Amino acid sequence: MNNRIELMRVVVPPEASGQRLGEFLRRRGLSRTLINRLKNTEGILVNGQVRWTIDPVFAGEEVVLLLEDEPSSFVQPEPIPITVVYEDDDVLAVNKPAGLIVHPARGYRNGTLANAVAYHLQQQGLEVPVRPVHRLDMETSGLVLFAKNPWAHNVMSLQLERRLLRREYIAVVSGHLWPEDGQVNAPIRRVPNHPVKHEVGEGGRPALTYYRVVRKLKDADLVELKLDTGRTHQIRVHMAYLGHPLLGDQLYGGPTDRIQRQALHAFRLRFRRPRDGEEITLEAPLPQDMADLIAQLEPEGQG
């Protein structure tokens, strides 16, 4: 039997009195697709009674949304240890180690972060699909956010689209950036005839990255970066475009003698909690390999 998840419970405020139920729900961030799914499963209740989306709602009435979630059939739960940074009824944030792919793909059907999250949810009695809100490259470490139900995924996807979900990274790049505080606004496209590599070039999708040097190292910079867009390999491509590829990033020309993966970590995540809009800020400490790298590159007399 499918789970019935309570997605929302809200009292109609005076200013919304007289609105059609469908309009009332859309103004609270629900997509038409999700509203239709709720309607078709009799999951929209007003004062405990099933109601249609064309019906009006009135001040003081209580609207409750109940969604039937489908069992997960495409991600096998696996008891892989994960570090949970934050969790509530709607979202789950995990600190992903480098070397772990986020979601099953060709050649990686098992042993992924999604398999681990599926197991974590299963232990809570939730047989639901795993829904990453965003992703990280396999060799990038740091915070990844998952939604635990379709409504939360819809809300968080809209936050991502509207720049309300903010992702911040820390990286070690080769050489010294100048200016030390700036932005890269350059479109990114696939490299023709290459399976994974991307590049800056005409016809690419718009991409904007903000960066700030936080510490000068020996022949390298420690840099904080913020994404305004979320293109594949965006930070790696933009830093290489400036002539300062990430250390360890062999694909984009970074030196690999000190670290064996791109020195990139998603250390901070900001978003609004789906249920009440409270702003949440999460942080994940630097992994040991990056901390060791920075220590090795400290100029003499520092550290």
- In the predicted structure, residue 237 carries a pLDDT above the cut 60: yes
**Confidence band for 46, pLDDT divided at 50, 70 and 90:** very high
pLDDT tens for each residue of 103-150:
877 666 789 999 999 999 999 988 788 889 999 999 999 999 999 988
- In contact, 101 and 112? CB cutoff 8 Å: yes
CA atoms in the 13 A half-sphere facing the CB of 216: 11
- In the predicted structure, residue 153 carries a pLDDT above the cut 90: no
Q: Which of 55, 69, 88, 137 is catalytic?
A: 137
- How close are the terminal C-alpha atoms of the chain, in Å? 58
**137 included as an active-site residue:** yes
**Choice among 82-86, 133-137, 191-195, 204-208 with the minimum mean pLDDT:** 191-195
Q: How many helices (H) and strands (E) does the chain have?
A: 6, 16
Q: What is the mean pLDDT of residues 23-31?
A: 84
Residue with the larger pLDDT of the pair 205 and 162: 205
Query: Can you tell me the distance from the alpha carbon of 126 to that of 141, in angstroms, rounded to the nearest whole number?
Result: 26
Residue with the larger pLDDT of the pair 121 and 302: 121
Angle, alpha carbons 84-73-29 (nearest 5°): 60
Supply the pLDDT for residue 73: 46
Q: What is the mean pLDDT of residues 1-22?
A: 82
**Confidence band for 8, pLDDT divided at 50, 70 and 90:** confident
Domains of the chain: 3-69 (3.10.290.10), 167-266 (3.30.2350.10)
- In the predicted structure, residue 62 carries a pLDDT above the cut 70: yes
Work out whether the CA dihedral 103, 99, 158, 231 comes out positive or negative.
Answer: negative
Amino acid at 212: R
